[in-house]
Amino acid sequence: MNEPSLHRLTLQEVDAVGALARTVWQTTYPALISQAQIDAMLDDRYAAGCIRAQLDDPRHAWWTAQQNQVLIGFAHAVLDGADCKLDKLYVHPDHQRQGIGAALLHAVQDWAGQLQARRLWLQVNRGNAQAIAAYRKYGFRIVESRVFDIGHGFVMDDHVMEQAL
């Protein structure tokens, strides 16, 4: 088996990112949020046109991890003033706990550092114990917990975590 390779997301991979997001979310989130909210968030956050527009915006950066030419993970970050938000980091369930998430996180940290961001922050569902533990392992700490209204009658009940860069 080949080692995973990381690179910046290409236009040809946009649809594959949406498909992988659906796979990961269907494994992770049904115990935490409703199927209606999962569908709405996937439709909103992974619309091909939205991702393509982000690829043209220098404040956004996407990375993919592939193994044997198959997409197995991705990350998305956005410059947020003097800070950087890790907006998405997902790895296929069959490939988790193999260092792929850490490699994607490192790519985000490097990018944010090059842009002289002061901190890297993220939101994670309060019930997602596996993700919270992973982020803590990589130096993030919880700085706030709150409910975010995301429209259409849905909310995100999240921890905000951060690390200094």
- Percent of the chain past pLDDT 70, that is, above it, reads 99
Determine the average pLDDT of the residues in 37-46. 95
Cβ-defined contacts of 133-141 (< 8 Å, 24+): 134/101, 135/161, 136/161, 138/102, 138/105, 138/163, 139/163
Query: Given this model, what pLDDT does residue 39 score?
Result: 95
pTM: 0.94
| Segments making up each domain of the chain, as ranges | 5-117
CATH class of 5-117: alpha beta
Neighbouring-strand partners of residue 44 = none
Burial zone of 1 (CB within 10 Å; 0-12 exposed, 13-18 middle, 19+ buried): exposed
Per-residue pLDDT tens over the stretch 60-113: 999 999 999 999 999 999 998 999 999 999 999 999 999 999 999 999 999 999
How crowded is the C-beta side of 124, counted as CA atoms within 13 Å? Answer: 22
Reported in sequence order, the residue ranges of the chain that DSSP labels E, i.e. its strands, are: 5-8, 60-67, 70-80, 83-91, 119-125, 141-151, 154-164
